[in-house]
Structure 1
Amino acid sequence: MAPISATFLLFFSTASISFSLILSATIIEDLNNLQPPPDFNTTLTNNCLHNPSLRYCNATPFNLPEIFKSTIVASHLCNESKNPNCVESFPKIDLRSRPKIAPLYLSFNFFWKYCPLTILTIDLSNNSLKGSFPSDIFHCSQIQALDLSHNDLSEDVPIQNFSLLTNLTFLNLSYNHFSESKISDSQFFKRFNSSSLLHSGLLPDHRKFRIKAILLLLGFPILIILTVVCLCWLCFWRPDFLPRVLQSKHKFTPSMLKAATNGFSKKNLVNKNEGVGIYKGLLRDGTEVRIEMYWEQVSRNNRRKFIEECKVLVELCHKNLVQVLGWCDNRRLRSIIIEWVDETNIEMWLSRSAPPWKQRVKVLMGILEGMCYLHEEWPEVGYDLKTSSILLYEDQEPLISRFKVGDQNSSSKKIYRFGVLMLEMITNRRPWEEFEGGEAGFVEWIRMYYLDNLENVIDERMKKTGHVFDQAAASIELGLKCMDLSNGRQPSLDQIFNNVSRIHNTCMASASPNLKRLHGHRGEGH
C-alpha cells in the first residue's frame, strides 16, 4: 500500500487491533458502521499522485466507503503476515488451515476489488471451502502464486478468466471437486504440471477410466445377452407385451394363457371334462375370452392339422358366429381362444324365460344368416346346430359356437339339423330326453298331432294369437320338410331363408326399434 498520513496509520493500527478483537459473525456489520476519516479523500489523492498504479486510482470518483473498508481488511491481513513493513510491503495473504476465517475474507468483495498491488501470493488451502470457484480473486491480477488445494470447491472453473493472471507461476487446485473440463486444451494451463490439478476433477481420472472401460467391456456383452434373453422371452413367452404391430396375430403362448387365467386357477375354471378344460380368461388388453384347453398329447401330424383348422376358424367373421381369436399349440397342451359370451344357450333360454313367438323367429333368422355365410364363404366348415351349443348374445342374438373344419356333412344333413332345431324351438321339447327313439320319435309325435291338434304341439306357454298360430303352423311344416330326406322333398337353404325371412319381417314390422341391434363390431353379416 502506498504511504499514507501518520494520522491514518494510527487509525489503521487502532482499527486493526479492533478488527482482531471483534472478528466474529458480526464483522460485516462492524465494517459497515466504520466511516472514513475527514481527510481520507485527500490521503487517497496524494497516494495516487505518488503511485498512480494503485487500483483505486482508476476509480473516479472515489468510492470512499469501499476503499476505506478495503484498507481496513488489508491492514488486518498485514498484521497477520507478521511483516514489520506491513503498510509498505504486503506480499502474501496466508489463510491456510483457517476454515473459520478464510470464508469470511472471501466474502469481502470490496477488498479483492482494491487489493494491494504488493500481494504476490494467496494461500487459501485446507479450509474446506464450499461452492463455486472464488472468482473475486481474479481482481488481484498481479499475483504469482495461488493455492486453493484441499477444499470442497465444485462446479466449473472459469478457465478464460485465468488469462488475467499473467504473472502466475504457481497454481494448486488439487483435491477439489470441480466439474471435468477440457482444461488441457488451454494454453495457460500448459504452464503447470499435472500435480497442480491432482484429484481436482479437472483432469480425467485414469483409474476411473480403466474402471469404466472394464465395466463397458463386461457390461456391454452382458447387456446384449440380457437384451436377447428379454426379446426371446417376449417373442416366445409373452408377445402380448410387444407393440401390436410386432405381435404374432392369433397365436397365443402357454404363458399368456396362464397369466390370463391366474395360473389356471379353479376360480377361472368354467367346465371340465376328460382331457378338456374350459376357462374364463382376461387378456392383457382387457378382452374377456373363453379358453378351451386340450391336455391330451397328440401326434405331430394331428398337431399340424389342428393348426391348419385354427387358421381357418380365425378368418370367420359374422355377427352370428362366435369369434375365434386364436390358438395355442404346445407339446403338452393345445388350446382354442374364443371371445367370451355368457353361458346362455337356446336350451336354457327356452326353459327359463318362455320367449314370445317373435323372439324365437328372430333367433331362427340369425341362425340362418350365419348358416348362409358359412355355406357361401366357408363350405368346408361344419357346425353344430343343437340348442345346447348355440349361444345367445345381447338382445337374443344367436351365435353358432362349435365348428369343425373339413366336415364331410352335406348341406342336406345341415338342413336336417336346422329342421330339428326349428321344431325344438317351437315345441320346447327335447327329443333325446322325452321320446323313445330320439329324433325319429320326436318327428312321429309331431306328425301325429300336426294336422288335428296343433295346439298340443306348439309350446303351451306361448301366446297363440291368430297370426302367431298360422306362422307357427307354417314353420312346423317347414321344419318337417327339412327333416324329410326323401328325394326332392327337402327344401334348399335359400328356400328356407326366404320362408323364415317372410315370417320374420311380418313379426318385426311392429317391433320397437329398441329391439334391433347393430352388429358392426362383430364383423359384417352376409
Structure 2
Amino acid sequence: MGIKNSLVDPHNVLNWDEHAVDPCSWAMVTCSTDNFVTSLGAPSQRLSGTLSPSIGNLTNLQSLLLQDNDISGHIPSELGRLPKLKTIDLSSNNFSGQIPGALSNLNSLQYLRLNNNSLDGAIPASFVNMTQLNFLDLSYNDLSAPVPPVHAKTFNIVGNPLICGTEHGCAGTTPVPQSLALNYSQNSQPSGNNKSHKIALAFGSSLGCICLLVLGFGFILWWRQRHNQQIFFDVNEHNEELNLGNLRSFQFKELQVATNNFSSKNLIGKGGFGNVYKGYLQDGTVVAVKRLKDGNAIGGEIQFQTEVEMISLAVHRNLLRLYGFCMTTTERLLVYPYMSNGSVATRLKAKPVLDWGTRKRIAIGAARGLLYLHEQCDPKIIHRDVKAANILLDDYCEAVVGDFGLAKLLDHQDSHVTTAVRGTVGHIAPEYLSTGQSSEKTDVFGFGILLLELISGLRALEFGKSTNQKGALLDWVS
C-alpha cells in the first residue's frame, strides 16, 4: 500500500483493497504457491508520482516491471535489499539522480533496464562485481564517465552525451569500457612468435566452437522431432492446477455454465481456429471464451501455445490481456475480458457511425499496441494478422490489439523471420507473399490497410456493393 500511495494512478489500475486479507488477488501482482509476492508489473499504465522505498519490504520479489510510465524521483536504494530479484525494468520513465550502488548487492539480478530516463552521475563502479547480469541497458540518460568494465553479455549506453563524447565512445551495444581500452593501448606490440601462437590458438578455438554449435543444433533438431507431438501443458480435466503468473486455470464445466453450454445465442465471433462465446462467470464477470475447434489438432495446439506464450510476454493497455485458460484431454479454451464494443470491423458497419475523433483514437491506440510489440518487448513480437477484425474496442472505444494466434517472436538483431505465409487476404504485405519473410514491416502494412478501412469505412476486400463492384481496397484507393 505504501507503493500505491506514492504513485499517481489516474485510471485506478492499482485498485488494491487495503482491507483484503490476500494481496495475491490484486491486479498487477503475482504470487508464489506459498502466497509470497514475487512479481509487481504495471507497465504502460500512465502511472506517475514516485517509487516508494517501502518496496524494499517485498523480500521475495523476483520481478519489477514498471516501464513506459511517467514515474519520477530517485530509484530507491532499498531495491538492493531484495536478494531474489532477477528482473528490473524501469525504462521509459522520468527517474532522476544517480543509479543506486546498492543494486550491485543483487546477486540474482539478470536483467536490468533503466534506459530512457533522466539519470545522471557515473555508473556505480561496483557494477563490475555483477557477474550474473546478462542484460544491462542504460541508454538515453545523462550518465557520465568513467564506465566500469561491466560483464553483461548485452550492455547498452548509447544516448549518454557525457559518455559518448569521450574518446572511447558508445557507438552501439556492448561497448568496450574505457578502462579496458586504456589497458589494451598500454600493452606492448607482441612478438612474431607470440602472434603466430595466438593466431593458431584463435583458429583452434573457432573450429572447436563451430563443431560444438553443429552438434548442439543437431541435438535440438533431434529433440524437437522426437517431441513434436508433446502436449504444451500435461493436464487433464481433473487436475488443472497450474501456476502461470496471474493466469487462472478454469474448469471446463465452469466455462460450460458460463456460456450456457456454448450456446449459439452466445456466439460473438468465428475464426480459423475456433469460435468465441460471451460468458458470465459466477462472480458476475463478463468474459469472452475462445474455444479451439480441435484441441488435439497440431495447428490448434500450436495456436493455443502461441497465444498463451505471446500474451504472457506482452502486457500493455492496448493489448488484449488473458484472464486464464482451460485444458482437458480434448478441449483447449482461452478466457479474455469481454469487449463490449466488439471489433473495429463490426463497428465500421454498425450504427451510429463512428465519429472522426473516435476513429483517430482507435488508430493511435492500435499503433501504441503494435509499437510495444515491436520495440519494447524482448524478443519483439510480430503479430502477422493486423486487421480491423483483430482490433477490439472496450467500453470507451479504446483500441485493444487481440488474436495472437499467428504471432512470431523475433530477436531485435534479426531483420525478419521466414515462415509459411499466414494472415488474411487483403491485409498481407506483397513482399511477405512473395518471399515468406515476415517482420515488423509486415504489421505496418496491415496497420496501413486498417487506416484505410477507418478512413473509408470499407473492408479490405469488399467495396462498391451498390455498383456490384468487388476488389482490393488498396487498388481502389490508388
Q: TM-score, normalised by structure 1?
A: 0.35
Q: Which has the higher strand share?
A: 2
Q: Which has the higher Rg, Structure 1 or Structure 2?
A: 1
Q: TM-score, normalised by structure 2?
A: 0.38
Q: Which has the higher helix share?
A: 1
